């Protein structure tokens, strides 16, 4: 795994942070991208400056993502694995309560446009190295168990992963959609968690990500749907 590079958006907390730690353990160099400079730099310091690069990036902004990719290439010389993980939800139901148009726009831009831009800007590098693209979807991008726009954005991500996989046929690039259930991360700071017997930890998802990445080149783990034991939907 020496010299291979793993780029992660949404890397400052939760699943992204846990995956960065696992990627370092597996021998990757990592590019840590998120909006929070302070959190990114703290994580970089913990992982080591020689192995980790912190890049402040707003995935909803094309130029910001372009700069992220260029900094990664300039620093490490290549990109082998990309985890388009950035995303958020603050609720925002379709009926009732106050209108939240700015929140809706931000959620679509981060969850859908952001993931698409990450793919578009990094796939040329992944094709060069017969690399791997992973995208964070959600259980609610498969089963609509909550009543808000977030679920719709994750359905879009489900379709995006399938479309990219189709386009990458013949290139050697693998595409994995990671669909977590309830995970104990800052994602839930603004939401009511559904009833569940247990919660997953961020590291549970990180291990699943590394399982997909660690497969031999002829094995493409298309989807990983992972719920805590006892979660119904």
List, for residues 146-204, the tens digit of each pLDDT value: 668 888 899 999 999 999 999 999 999 999 999 998 877 554 445 455 555 578 899 99
Task: Answer whether residue 124 is part of any domain.
Answer: yes
Other CB atoms within 10 Å distance of the CB of residue 76: 20
Task: Answer whether residue 232 is part of any domain.
Answer: no
List, for residues 40-56, the tens digit of each pLDDT value: 999 999 999 999 999 99
* Strand, helix or coil for residue 32: strand
Inter-residue contact 9 to 118 (CB < 8 Å): yes
pLDDT at 92 over 80: no
Task: Answer whether residue 190 is part of any domain.
Answer: yes
Q: Could you tell me the CATH number of the domain that includes residue 97? A: 3.40.50.720
CA distance 184 to 181: 10
pTM: 0.91
Identify the pLDDT of residue 188. Answer: 45
Task: Answer whether residue 196 is part of any domain.
Answer: yes
Q: For the chain, what is the domain count?
A: 1
Other CB atoms within 10 Å distance of the CB of residue 19: 30
Range of the domain at 81: 5-226
Task: Answer whether residue 142 is part of any domain.
Answer: yes
Identify the pLDDT of residue 193. Answer: 53
Beta strand spans in the chain (E)? 5-9, 29-34, 52-56, 81-84, 132-136, 174-180, 183-184, 200-201, 223-226
Residue 114 structure tokens:
């952001």
CA distance 228 to 49: 34
Task: Answer whether residue 150 is part of any domain.
Answer: yes
CA distance 135 to 84: 5
Residue 89 structure tokens:
């939800």
* Strand, helix or coil for residue 137: coil
Task: Answer whether residue 128 is part of any domain.
Answer: yes
Q: Is 100 exposed, middle or buried (0-12, 13-18, 19+ CB in 10 A)?
A: middle
* Catalytic residue chosen out of the listed positions 150, 174, 213, 231: 150
Identify the pLDDT of residue 191. Answer: 47
Task: Answer whether residue 233 is part of any domain.
Answer: no
Q: Is 113 a catalytic residue?
A: no
Residue 31: name the closest of 127, 40, 134, 39 by CA.
Answer: 40
CA distance 27 to 173: 20
């Amino acid at each position: 795994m020496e010299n291979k590079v793993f780029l992660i958006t949404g890397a400052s907390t939760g699943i992204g942070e846990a995956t960065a730690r696992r990627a370092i353990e597996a021998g990757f160099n990592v590019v840590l991208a998120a909006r929070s400079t302070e959190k990114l730099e703290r994580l970089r310091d913990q992982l080591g400056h020689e192995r980790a690069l912190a890049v402040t990036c707003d995935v909803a902004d094309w130029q910001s993502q372009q700069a992220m990719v260029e900094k990664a290439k300039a620093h490490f010389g290549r990109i082998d694995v990309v985890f388009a993980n950035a995303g958020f939800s603050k609720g925002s139901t379709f009926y009732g309560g106050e209108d939240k148009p700015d929140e809706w726009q931000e959620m679509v831009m981060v969850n859908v446009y952001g993931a698409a831009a990450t793919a578009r800007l990094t796939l040329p590098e992944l094709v060069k190295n017969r690399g791997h693209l992973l995208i964070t979807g959600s259980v609610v991008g498969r089963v609509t168990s909550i009543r808000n726009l977030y679920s719709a954005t994750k359905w879009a991500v489900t379709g995006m992963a399938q479309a990219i996989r189709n386009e990458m046929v013949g290139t050697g690039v693998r595409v994995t959609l990671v669909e977590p259930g309830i995970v104990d991360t800052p994602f839930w700071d603004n939401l009511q968690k559904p009833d569940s017997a247990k919660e997953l930890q961020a590291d549970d998802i990180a291990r699943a990500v590394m399982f997909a990445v660690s497969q031999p080149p002829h094995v493409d783990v298309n989807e990983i749907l992972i719920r805590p034991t006892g979660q119904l939907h």
